[in-house]
Amino acid sequence: MKTTYLIRSALVAAAAVLSLAGCVSSPPVAPRAAVDNTTPAQRLAAVDAIAGADDTELSVQPLRDAQVDDLRQTAIAQRKAGDLAAAAEALNQALLLVNDDPGILQERADIALLQADWVRAETLSKKALDLGSRTGPLCRRHWATIEQSRLARGETQNAVSAHAQIEGCTVPGIKRF
């Protein structure tokens, strides 16, 4: 009887081991990173919204060379026609004439943003920021472009620091009584 008990216990133990062997758990699935489906046009729209001029704000507009202004107008027309490469080339030509114009650098950064050339968009906006005013709509546009470029590359922390700079660009206009 003792042998039968031992055999029965051994069979029950073996059955338990075999049943547990079939219970293999798969390794935990790593959570997927959030997919950013923001289009380049949506990124530029976000820049436009942040940069919007305020009627009570001081905004300085430089005088431009006629040839440079013609190239800017060509770039605008090409962009509206959907030819981003031609728009970029027109602005590149303008930058050959005046490579230190923050407005034209930013316009070229806008095209780079539309072309999903995130690094170039940020680089151009940083250069424009270094050369230009630290106030007004153009300043906000620089920082918003930097923010959107970083977001597109998945650099969320760096994008947050760029966004924090935007508010410092707004300076109220002079009140005259």
Any idea where the domains of the chain sit in the sequence? 37-56+64-169
Burial of 60 (0-12, 13-18, 19+ CB in 10 A): exposed
Task: Please state, in angstroms and rounded to a whole number, the distance separating the CA atoms of residues 126 and 136.
Answer: 15
> Would you state the pLDDT for residue 171?
74
- Coil/strand/helix, residue 59: coil
pLDDT, mean of residues 52-59: 62
For residue 147, CA distances in Å to 7, 103, 108, 112 come to 72, 18, 16, 14
pLDDT of residue 58: 59
Global confidence as pTM: 0.75
Q: What fold, for 37-56+64-169?
A: 1.25.40
Q: Give the SS3 label for residue 50.
A: helix
Looking at the predicted structure, is the pLDDT value of residue 28 above 70? no
pLDDT tens by residue, 94-132: 999 999 999 999 999 999 999 999 999 999 999 999 998
The confidence band for 5, taking pLDDT boundaries of 50, 70 and 90, is low
Residues in CB range of 47: below 8 A, 6 or more apart: 110, 113, 141, 144, 145, 148
Q: What pLDDT, on a 0 to 100 scale, did the predictor assign at position 148?
A: 97
User: In 3D, which of 92, 173, 106 has the Cα closest to residue 141?
Assistant: 106
How confident is the model over 132-170, as pLDDT tens digits?
888 889 999 999 999 999 999 999 999 999 999 998 888
